[in-house]
Amino acid sequence: MHTTVGIVGGGPAGLLLARLLHNAGIDSVVLELRDRAYVEQRQRAGILEQATVEALRAAGAGERMDAEGIPHHGIELRFGRRSHRLDFPSLTGGRSVMVYAQTEVVKDLIALQLADGGPLLFGAEVTSVEGAQSDSPVVEFVQEGRAQTLTCDYVVGCDGFHGVTRDAVPEDVRTTYERTHPYSWLGVLAEAPPVYDELVYAHSDRGFALASMRSPTVSRLYLQVPNGTDPADWSAERIWDELDTRLALDRDPGWKLERGPVTSKAVLPMRSHVTEPMRYGRVFLAGDAAHIVPPTGAKGLNLAAADVIVLARALARWRETGSAELLDAYSDTCLRRVWRAEHFSSFMTATLHTDPAQSPFDTRLQLSQLERIATSPHAAAELAENYTGLPLPR
């Protein structure tokens, strides 16, 4: 089998890339390890930056997002048992975000690809990518026990942090930058109305909590927990009690969350990771295959989308003009945005979480920083600009 662009991984990065290439008249094949139901149900991110929303619309994948997604024009910060709202449009010259789950983005892109796109193969495990420096790199994969090869003009590794494409970049060419974090998140899905009509990011003396949502009847909730936590230790009652405590406000001492059945819970480790460069010969890396951010800034999915938007444009330019100029610039172009997101995600994480080794002095510094954001339009604008996302490079 031969294709112009072989795409390893059918997560948001691989699926959006396939759609953008299809729209540009460039053929591709997507090879996805898991089955369709697994990919469509994997609980992950929930916030789309304005640029991601616009890109999905422009790609023809915005119809259900515009009908069912929930536009959000701000977030609430809670600290010192007080709340402070950040109003995104007034702080950023009109920018906002959309609450629309990654599961739904993935379902929409899969439906489009199966309806009129190139091949999207599920249950196809890529075992290696060879010949990055040749004119025709080869993807080796196994589907239904049968070893197969896909030859390509270009290969894009959209196979996430545990994927295999990164190994096509030799170790002496690759630089890895990494940081682990001394806490994890317990991610919870519950049949309960959202805590508040916007997202609540809470600093408390018992650690971080985040109250998000999936619909008017479903809440998505996160609690900072120690690394190595077993989700089985967190009963629904313990989860709700802890949320009540971490989200408490002095002005409303009797306030409690409206409880409902917990339908899923999982512990998510936190990692910061960047692999440079994001291109080696005819092999490109995009999304989590190249970089991971801790989720506090809601950036992972948006960075994955930004990478493939830049790459699809570069491949379209190459196809139309024969020029590899944008392809050559791909890694540097993406890494500028990646490092901005790494910084913002680390900042949000360090400012809102309680490090087990944290001193009372450190806590006072966190509270001073949060107070600054709540009282200075300049500090608030810095957060809001990063959260709603910087414009994509033209």
Query: Between residues 45 and 56, which has the closer beta carbon with respect to ligand DHB?
Result: 45
Q: Tell me if 377 sits within 8 A of 88, measured CB to CB.
A: no
Question: Positive or negative CA dihedral for 330, 336, 341, 342?
Answer: positive
Q: Which stretch binds ligand DHB (CB under 6 A): 42-50, 83-91, 123-131, 367-375?
A: 42-50
Q: Is 256 a catalytic residue?
A: no
Determine the residue with CB nearest ligand DHB.
46
Spell out, one character per residue from 138 to 177, where the chain touches ligand DHB: x when CB under 6 A holds, - when not: ----------------------------------------
DSSP-assigned letters across all residues of 352-369 = HS--TT--HHHHHHHHHH
Residue span binding ligand DHB (CB under 6 A) among the ranges 40-48, 162-170, 232-240, 366-374: 40-48
Q: Which of residues 174-203 bind ligand FAD (CB under 6 A)?
A: none
Structure tokens that stand for 183 in this block: 């806490």
CB of 309 to ligand FAD, least distance (A): 13
- Check: CB of residue 84 under 8 Å from CB of residue 77: yes
DSSP E strand boundaries for the chain = 2-8, 28-31, 47-49, 70-72, 74-79, 82-87, 97-99, 120-121, 124-130, 138-143, 146-157, 175-190, 199-202, 209-215, 218-225, 262-276, 279-280, 283-285, 291-292
Active-site option among 72, 181, 265, 353 = 72
Catalytic residue among 12, 194, 294, 295: 295
Cβ nearer to ligand FAD, comparing 243 with 249: 243
Which one of ligand DHB, ligand FAD, none interacts with residue 374, CB within 5 to 8 A by kind? Answer: none
Nearest CA to 10 out of 163, 128, 120 is that of: 120
Is 298 among the residues that bind ligand DHB (CB under 6 A)? yes
Q: Catalytic annotation on 265?
A: no
Q: Are 351 and 203 in contact (CB under 8 A)?
A: yes
Instruction: Out of 20, 31, 33, 47, point to the residue binding ligand DHB (CB under 6 A).
Output: 47
Hey, which residues between 12 and 71 contact ligand FAD (CB under 6 A)? 12-14, 31-34, 39, 44-45
> How would you label 62-80 residue by residue, b for 16+ Cβ within 10 Å and e otherwise?
beebeeebbebbbbbbbbe
Which of residues 98 and 110 has its CB atom nearest to ligand DHB in the complex? 98
Q: Which residues are CB-neighbours of 62 under 8 A, at least 6 positions away?
A: 53, 56
d(CA 185, CA 243): 13
Contacts with 23 (C-beta within 8 Å, 6 or more apart), sequence order? 59, 60
For the record, the structure tokens of 101 come out as 């789950």
- Could you tell me what percentage of the chain is helix, strand and coil, using 3-state DSSP and rounding each to the nearest 5? 40, 30, 30
Could you say which of ligand DHB, ligand FAD, none residue 212 binds, taking C-beta under 5 to 8 angstroms by partner kind? ligand DHB
DSSP assignment letter at 123: S
Q: Does position 220 bind ligand DHB by CB under 6 A?
A: yes
Nearest CB to ligand FAD, comparing residues 61 and 164: 164
Catalytic residue, from 154, 183, 201, 330: name it: 201
- Kindly state whether residue 45 participates in binding ligand DHB, applying the rule CB under 6 A: yes
Here the tokens at position 10 are 């059918």
Of 276-335, which residues contact ligand FAD (CB under 6 A)? 287-288, 295, 298-301, 304
Amino acid making up residue 71: P
Assess whether 72 carries a catalytic annotation: yes
Please identify, using beta-carbon distances, which residue of 296 and 351 lies nearer to ligand DHB. 296
309 binds, among ligand FAD, ligand DHB, none (CB under 5 to 8 A by kind): none
Give yes or no: 196 in active site.
no
Which residues contribute to the site for ligand DHB (CB under 6 A)?
Answer: 45-47, 199, 210, 212, 220, 295-296, 298
Looking at the annotation, which residues are catalytic? 72, 201, 295, 299, 387
Which residues contribute to the site for ligand FAD (CB under 6 A)?
Answer: 8-14, 31-34, 39, 44-45, 102, 125-126, 158-160, 162-164, 268, 287-288, 295, 298-301, 304
